[in-house]
Copies of this chain bind each other. A is one copy, B any other.
Amino acid sequence: MGNKYVYGFSEGSKEMKNLLGGKGSNLAEMTNIGLPVPPGFTITTEACSRFYEEGEKLWPELIEEIHNHLKEVEKALDKRFSDESNPLLVSVRSGAVFSMPGMMDTILNLGLNDKSVIGLVNSTGNERFAYDSYRRFIHMFSDIAMGIPKRRFDSAMDEMKHNKGVELDTELDAEDLKELVERFKEIYREEKGQPFPQDPIDQLQLSIEAVFSSWNNPRAVIYRRLHDIPSNLGTAVNVQSMVYGNMGDTSGTGVAFTRNPANGENKIYGEFLMNAQGEDVVAGIRTPKSISELEDIMPEVFEEFAKVTEILESHYKDMQDIEFTIEKGKLFMLQTRTGKRTAQAAINVAVDLVNEGKITKDEAILRIEPNQLNQLLHPTFDAKALGEALVIAKGLPASPGAASGKVYFHAKDVVEAKARGEKALLVRQETSPEDIEGMVSAEGILTARGGMTSHAAVVARGMGKCCVAGCSEIRVDEESKVIRAGELTLHEGDYLSLDGTTGTVYTGEIAKVQPELSGQFGEFMSWVDEKRRMKVRTNADTPRDAAAAVKFGAEGIGLCRTEHMFFDEDRIPAVRRMIVSNNESQRQKALDVLLPLQRKDFYEIYQVMEWRPVTIRLLDPPLHEFLPSKKEDVESLAQSMNISFEDLKDTINELEEVNPMMGHRGCRLAVTYPEIAKMQTRAIIEAALDYKVKDGVEIVPEIMIPLIGDAKELAYVKKQVLEEIEAVFTERNDSIKYLIGTMIEIPRAAITADEIAEEAEFFSFGTNDLTQMGFGFSRDDSGKFLNEYVEKGIFDKSPFEVLDQKGIGKMMEMAVELGRKTRENIKLGICGEHGGEPSSVEFCHRIGLDYVSCSPFRVPIARLAAAQAVLKEKMSIHMDK
């Protein structure tokens, strides 16, 4: 063990984190790049270990080292402990290698005693401030370092206020506080049997011991156990001199960004107050001045400050958010950190920094948090308007954006409201495919049930429409058309506002801000596209969605859900007839009606996508989703089919399932009713032939068979599809290229992917279902308990939001490996919701997928995440070397 246990800030660096802790090494770093940091020193983590070896006390050599460093601080600041004119005061803070709750945090103004408090009065000219600081210090030191119950000081304070007949602490004057200091010192004596320590050295020693001891307090021990932090690491202690911005007209304090955090403009942006403390800036009692005015008031200080910002940007290579204090004309930097910024600013700053030669394109790409791009693509609430809004509930942030409108409970009411020119929100217990038209017309969607991949969430994201889902704090009564949220009851026509980015639900209407796409955005995304290996496709079911996605850079359709086309008002009767048919010829009649409509669907989508690949999934959901539930609809269907109401009702009841998600759906439908798969195949192929003939473009449709769990199952359905394709080719005397593949969304399919690849030309990972079946979590029902899982720390995130790489991801890896073993060039993609989630996209890159597919509005996010994946991989290869 070395003999040096204490490091002045100038002796350390950010590389010495293990010895100096996180905070200490960072203070050292700032000191060393030339920032004027209030001087101080760090007592190392090794000292902590020795502290325990010594039987939990400090030893003479350490105390001497601390003394020596204290003297240097006194010298540097020209201040002295216990000085009556310009006393040195310090803060004492713990600083472990990993930030860790449960440990002693901070003691401010250490060094105050009956003498130095007078010094503080003299140097600040503010008697009230000095005594307020003193009584706070006694309270804090007694509580935190000495373990004296807080409530003793609190009741003394209350008694004082009662005696003075005042309500607030701030109503006590300097004399009152002086009295309180005396009372506090008495309490200390009562509790500890000794007077309050007047010697700052004693205060400091006791505080350092308290910090070291807190390393082993129960909360910290549990925390380390839970987070696998070795218990022998120890904590460091930071002792730093206090500086004050309220020492007269040449003192002040402020906060600033090195560039504009709203739009990225390269100009210092911030505000300050002269003769004030940090909390005054925050409290808003006085109006701060713009940072530019500092130049007029204190030109030298401003010049130094400007230089500091330049040093900071050069060093950290990013926009900084800084706190500073000027004490009697001398500038001190109290903190610097990477500045938070809007998405627009983030892009603009990154592009500017590249153009200024400060960072590389790779660094710029890694700098942007992909999810931040959401802000660029969706409107947000005006920050000021939001401040006054009343939050009534929080749900899941299912689809980003901001929306306000009158609430309606039924799709058709929303459609009618829109027709009247109203802005309407669709509010439902949960949505079903029957609600599609209402969702199209709504400004936003709110559901009480369902998770991040519920129907409402998936469809809304596809449309780029704001949605808050699974908001279990509200109760939706669709029949009586009321929402109950706690005590509050809302009726049809009342206004609500939804923030789909945070999941927050507000009452009333809130002003919105529309995003702007700058030229820098285009430049940035072109860099992104140069870097990425994976293609980015989109999940789109309509020409409109497809067009939006192409605008956002989609390179194909990875998932076109044919069932969404079935809900159109002019189709649903035929779809229903198809489902309840008792025999094949009856069913064929209904299919004959649907064929030309589906063919047109595909033709129009091909036209939008041009040469880009289009993956079309055959019918997937359980059939009863399409059936009417209302009596009158059943009656009219029975009439149109010329069967009795009872028989039809029976058929509908028989189709109902206990667990529809694991029921008669996907390829299981194609096994039972091959004629449905054949009709869809015919529509896909005929549309492609039409497109070739009429528009001269040869598209390669990819026919995707869903919910495969076994190779033989795929072989069976594939045979039906192939027969139909051959029939169409013969009839048309023409042909095109096509692919036949499958979703990998059933755990067993992943496990037996080698066999399945015998039959499949491509795999598309359906990670929604794979997560659902792999965890056994119904996505419609798991919302309520998954929240609790996250709250109780069992999961970091819902696996429906962020791909579970350890389990579900392991299945994917197996499938990739097994699939490629059988068919080396098999095309691999993902079309689950995770295809637009950055960490999941990175995982897809790592396991070698060829593309990801996501909803149109997440395409830019996926592009960025895919590029970052390449760069991170490159970095980790470098690190491994």
A38 partner residues in chain B, CB cutoff 8 A: none
A650 with B789: CB separation less than 8 A: no
Chain A 792-835, CB within 8 Å of chain B: the 1/0 string? 11110000000010111011000000000000000000000000
A671 with B794: CB separation less than 8 A: yes
- Measured CB to CB, the closest approach of chain B to A801, in angstroms, equals 16
Q: Check if A772 is an interface residue, CB within 8 A of chain B.
A: yes
Chain A 1-31, CB within 8 Å of chain B: the 1/0 string? 0000000000000000000000000000000
> Which of the segments A627-635, A637-645, A743-751 contacts the partner chain?
A743-751
A775 with B808: CB separation less than 8 A: no
Q: Check if A675 is an interface residue, CB within 8 A of chain B.
A: no
* Contact A776 to B773, CB < 8 A, known contacts A748-B804, A794-B712, A807-B709: yes
A747 with B811: CB separation less than 8 A: yes
Q: Check if A613 is an interface residue, CB within 8 A of chain B.
A: no
B789 with A671: CB separation less than 8 A: yes
* Contact A671 to B788, CB < 8 A, known contacts A658-B778, A781-B663: yes
Assembly CA distance A561 to B143 (angstroms): 53
A710 with B662: CB separation less than 8 A: no
- For A658, A772, A806, the residue with the greatest tally of chain B CB atoms inside 10 Å of its CB is A658
Output the nearest chain B residue to A454 by Cβ-Cβ distance.
B658
A789 partner residues in chain B, CB cutoff 8 A: 671, 713
B794 with A713: CB separation less than 8 A: yes
Assembly CA distance A48 to B658 (angstroms): 56
Output the nearest chain B residue to A786 by Cβ-Cβ distance.
B668
Assembly CA distance A135 to B159 (angstroms): 125
Assembly CA distance A659 to B622 (angstroms): 13
Query: Which of B475, B668, B775 is A748 in contact with, Cβ under 8 Å?
Result: B775
A662 with B662: CB separation less than 8 A: yes
Q: Check if A716 is an interface residue, CB within 8 A of chain B.
A: yes
- Measured CB to CB, the closest approach of chain B to A717, in angstroms, equals 9
Q: Check if A34 is an interface residue, CB within 8 A of chain B.
A: no
A-B contact pairs, 5 of them (CB 8 A): A658-B661, A658-B778, A712-B795, A716-B794, A769-B776
Assembly CA distance A781 to B668 (angstroms): 12
B650 with A778: CB separation less than 8 A: no
B785 with A662: CB separation less than 8 A: no
Extra pairs beyond A659-B660, A710-B795 (17, CB < 8 Å): A658-B661, A660-B778, A661-B778, A662-B781, A671-B789, A709-B776, A709-B777, A713-B789, A713-B794, A716-B792, A746-B774, A746-B776, A747-B747, A748-B804, A748-B808, A751-B810, A752-B810
Assembly CA distance A877 to B716 (angstroms): 37
Q: Check if A782 is an interface residue, CB within 8 A of chain B.
A: yes
Assembly CA distance A745 to B776 (angstroms): 9
- How many copies of this chain does one complex carry? 2
Assembly CA distance A776 to B751 (angstroms): 13
A657 partner residues in chain B, CB cutoff 8 A: 778, 780-781
Assembly CA distance A789 to B808 (angstroms): 27
Assembly CA distance A321 to B584 (angstroms): 46
* Contact A662 to B777, CB < 8 A, known contacts A475-B650, A668-B785, A807-B709: yes
- For A671, A748, A773, A777, the residue with the greatest tally of chain B CB atoms inside 10 Å of its CB is A748
Assembly CA distance A746 to B777 (angstroms): 10
A231 partner residues in chain B, CB cutoff 8 A: none
- Measured CB to CB, the closest approach of chain B to A375, in angstroms, equals 33
Q: Check if A672 is an interface residue, CB within 8 A of chain B.
A: yes
Q: Check if A461 is an interface residue, CB within 8 A of chain B.
A: no
Assembly CA distance A65 to B657 (angstroms): 67
Assembly CA distance A688 to B716 (angstroms): 55
Q: Check if A784 is an interface residue, CB within 8 A of chain B.
A: yes
A710 partner residues in chain B, CB cutoff 8 A: 794-795, 807
A672 with B785: CB separation less than 8 A: yes
A661 partner residues in chain B, CB cutoff 8 A: 658-659, 662, 776, 778
A776 partner residues in chain B, CB cutoff 8 A: 661-662, 707, 709, 745-748, 769, 773
- Measured CB to CB, the closest approach of chain B to A376, in angstroms, equals 35
CB within 8 Å of B: which A380-435 residues: none
Output the nearest chain B residue to A811 by Cβ-Cβ distance.
B751
A663 partner residues in chain B, CB cutoff 8 A: 778, 781-782
- For A712, A775, A810, the residue with the greatest tally of chain B CB atoms inside 10 Å of its CB is A775
Assembly CA distance A639 to B264 (angstroms): 64
A793 partner residues in chain B, CB cutoff 8 A: 712
Output the nearest chain B residue to A787 by Cβ-Cβ distance.
B672
Chain A 745-768, CB within 8 Å of chain B: the 1/0 string? 111100110010000000000000
Assembly CA distance A713 to B799 (angstroms): 14
A748 partner residues in chain B, CB cutoff 8 A: 774-776, 804, 807-808
Assembly CA distance A444 to B780 (angstroms): 36
Q: Check if A378 is an interface residue, CB within 8 A of chain B.
A: no
A747 partner residues in chain B, CB cutoff 8 A: 747, 773-776, 811
Output the nearest chain B residue to A772 by Cβ-Cβ distance.
B662
A792 partner residues in chain B, CB cutoff 8 A: 671, 716
A752 partner residues in chain B, CB cutoff 8 A: 806-807, 810
Assembly CA distance A650 to B474 (angstroms): 12
Q: Check if A531 is an interface residue, CB within 8 A of chain B.
A: no
A707 partner residues in chain B, CB cutoff 8 A: 776
Q: Check if A93 is an interface residue, CB within 8 A of chain B.
A: no
Q: Check if A465 is an interface residue, CB within 8 A of chain B.
A: no
Assembly CA distance A732 to B41 (angstroms): 55
A795 partner residues in chain B, CB cutoff 8 A: 710, 712
Q: Check if A664 is an interface residue, CB within 8 A of chain B.
A: yes
A777 partner residues in chain B, CB cutoff 8 A: 662, 709
Closest 8 CB pairs of A and B: A659-B778, A662-B778, A748-B807, A747-B747, A663-B781, A658-B780, A657-B781, A659-B659
A660 with B658: CB separation less than 8 A: yes
Output the nearest chain B residue to A750 by Cβ-Cβ distance.
B747
- Measured CB to CB, the closest approach of chain B to A705, in angstroms, equals 13
Assembly CA distance A254 to B775 (angstroms): 62
- For A671, A710, A794, the residue with the greatest tally of chain B CB atoms inside 10 Å of its CB is A794
Output the nearest chain B residue to A788 by Cβ-Cβ distance.
B672
Assembly CA distance A751 to B710 (angstroms): 19
Query: Which of B662, B672, B788 is A659 in contact with, Cβ under 8 Å?
Result: B662
Assembly CA distance A662 to B770 (angstroms): 13
B780 with A659: CB separation less than 8 A: yes
- Measured CB to CB, the closest approach of chain B to A500, in angstroms, equals 23
Chain A 454-491, CB within 8 Å of chain B: the 1/0 string? 00000000000000000000010000000000000000
CB within 8 Å of B: which A12-66 residues: none
- Measured CB to CB, the closest approach of chain B to A8, in angstroms, equals 43
CB within 8 Å of B: which A526-542 residues: none
A751 with B807: CB separation less than 8 A: yes
- Measured CB to CB, the closest approach of chain B to A779, in angstroms, equals 8
A650 partner residues in chain B, CB cutoff 8 A: 475
A785 with B659: CB separation less than 8 A: no
- For A716, A747, A793, the residue with the greatest tally of chain B CB atoms inside 10 Å of its CB is A747
CB within 8 Å of B: which A691-707 residues: 707
A755 partner residues in chain B, CB cutoff 8 A: 806
A808 partner residues in chain B, CB cutoff 8 A: 748
Assembly CA distance A784 to B663 (angstroms): 10
Assembly CA distance A716 to B795 (angstroms): 11
